[in-house]
């Protein structure tokens, strides 16, 4: 996959100020994991209203659905046990894993070089997604919905928000999956074509592995109620992904196997939002600096990460300050509490 190998372009103080203003304008209470304010959304605890009719996957695109050929497409993907297997996850260029309410996890898949026919199950957005996506140039965010008090932040963020409530023609409900784990996206109904690797303004570098590192065959990252294990496959030259002890295979039968895995140690604090049970929504801080483990080619490297501002990509460097090269292929970034 041809991802950008140089540091991302800064889009200026105006973008950063806009995002900062959006965050500070949020209300002080809410319930993220629990509900979606706009019609058609399902509750994250599994309680859901009867879903509004959605077009079948073969229906013609709705004429009101906006399209754009420029930015990356970021999709929030449900990955609890009842939602697996996912669809289209193997086609993502970057997959981010974050902690959500109740110690569970949620994925964000970013597509630039390939657009699968379908992606899902699609779930709701979180406040920290907006900071994470600030490093991309006006990305398109696909999500099932969001609770009412988060919507103003999403509307003001420097991205194209396309939820199932606002652009229903791009989504459909799968009849063979239970609500709320049955909402799927047809990417070509939001973006005309894959924008290409240059749209991945992440700060990542790709190339030959640096010297050093230590041999590593497996690494596990644990959240309170979820875990990810990455096991090196020498025959495939990829890391095989297990979630909660189950191999990650897509609904199409394809094994999810990134070339590079980043375990990025970050601050995880309480946000201003809660789910319907009163569980606080964790806020994952991706602006700042810290340490990380980079897994590639069956080895682990201790690196530093830095992202000074929300519009900057994340730079990963070795101990001597040299940019850390990733192996070409899919990248997983798992945010772990520092």
pLDDT tens column, 137-185:
999 999 999 888 899 999 999 999 999 999 999 999 999 999 999 999 9
Please write the tens of the pLDDT for every residue from 252-300. 999 999 999 999 999 999 877 666 666 778 999 999 999 999 999 999 9
Domains 28-48+71-195 and 205-272+282-337 share a fold: yes
CA distance 272 to 40: 24
Which CATH number is 28-48+71-195's, of 1.10.3720.10, 3.20.20.140, 3.50.90.10, 3.10.300.10? 3.50.90.10
Average pLDDT over residues 185-199: 93
Average pLDDT over residues 309-328: 96
Please give the structure tokens belonging to residue 27. 């209300």
- 220/17: higher pLDDT: 220
Q: How many residues does the chain have?
A: 338
Please give the structure tokens belonging to residue 142. 């696909």
Query: pTM to 2 decimals?
Result: 0.81
Measured over the CA atoms of residue 126, residue 93, residue 252 and residue 81, the dihedral's sign is negative
Confidence of residue 16 (pLDDT cuts 50, 70, 90): very low
pLDDT at 36: 37
For residue 310, pLDDT beyond 70: yes
Asked if 100 and 33 count as a contact pair (C-beta separation under 8 A), the reply is yes
Domain range 205-272+282-337, CATH architecture:
3-Layer(bba) Sandwich (3.50)
For residue 132, pLDDT beyond 50: yes
Confidence of residue 221 (pLDDT cuts 50, 70, 90): very high
Give the chain's radius of gyration (CA, Å).
Answer: 19
Please write the tens of the pLDDT for every residue from 18-74. 444 443 443 333 333 333 334 334 334 333 333 444 444 443 333 344 444 479 999
List the chain domain ranges.
28-48+71-195, 205-272+282-337
Q: To the nearest whole percent, how much of the chain has pLDDT over 70?
A: 78
As separate numbers, helices (DSSP H) first and strands (DSSP E) second, the chain gives 3, 20
Strand partners, 262: 294, 333
Asked if 22 and 310 count as a contact pair (C-beta separation under 8 A), the reply is no
Average pLDDT over residues 197-222: 95
């Amino acid at each position: 996959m041809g991802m950008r190998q140089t540091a991302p372009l800064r889009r200026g103080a105006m973008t950063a100020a806009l995002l900062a203003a959006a965050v500070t304008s949020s209300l002080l209470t809410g319930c993220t994991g629990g509900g979606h304010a706009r019609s058609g959304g399902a509750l994250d605890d599994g309680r859901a209203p009867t879903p509004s009719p959605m077009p079948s996957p073969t229906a013609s695109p709705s004429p009101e659905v906006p399209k754009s050929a420029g930015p990356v497409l970021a999709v929030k993907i449900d990955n609890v046990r009842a939602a697996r297997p996912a669809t289209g996850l193997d086609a993502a260029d970057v997959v981010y894993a974050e902690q959500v309410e109740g110690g569970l996890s949620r994925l964000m898949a970013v597509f630039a070089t390939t657009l699968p026919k379908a992606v899902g199950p699609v779930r709701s957005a979180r406040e920290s997604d907006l900071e994470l996506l600030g490093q991309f140039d006006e990305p398109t965010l696909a999500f099932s919905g969001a609770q009412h008090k988060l919507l103003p932040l999403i509307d003001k963020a420097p991205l194209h928000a396309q939820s199932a409530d606002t652009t229903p023609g791009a989504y459909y409900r799968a009849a063979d999956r239970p609500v709320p784990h049955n909402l799927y996206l047809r990417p070509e109904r939001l973006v005309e074509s894959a924008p290409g690797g240059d749209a991945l303004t992440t700060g990542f570098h790709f190339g030959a592995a640096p010297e050093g590192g230590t041999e590593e065959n497996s690494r596990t990252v644990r959240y309170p109620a979820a875990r990810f294990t990455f096991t090196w496959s020498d025959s495939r030259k990829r890391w095989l992904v297990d979630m909660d002890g189950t191999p990650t295979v897509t609904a199409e039968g394809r094994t999810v196997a990134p070339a590079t895995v980043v375990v990025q140690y970050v601050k995880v604090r309480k946000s201003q939002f809660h789910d319907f049970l009163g569980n606080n929504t964790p806020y994952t801080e991706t602006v700042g600096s810290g340490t990380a483990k980079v897994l590639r080619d069956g080895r682990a490297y201790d690196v530093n990460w830095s992202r000074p501002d929300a519009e900057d990509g994340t730079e990963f460097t070795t101990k001597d300050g040299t940019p850390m090269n990733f192996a070409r292929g899919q990248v997983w970034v798992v945010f772990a509490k520092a």
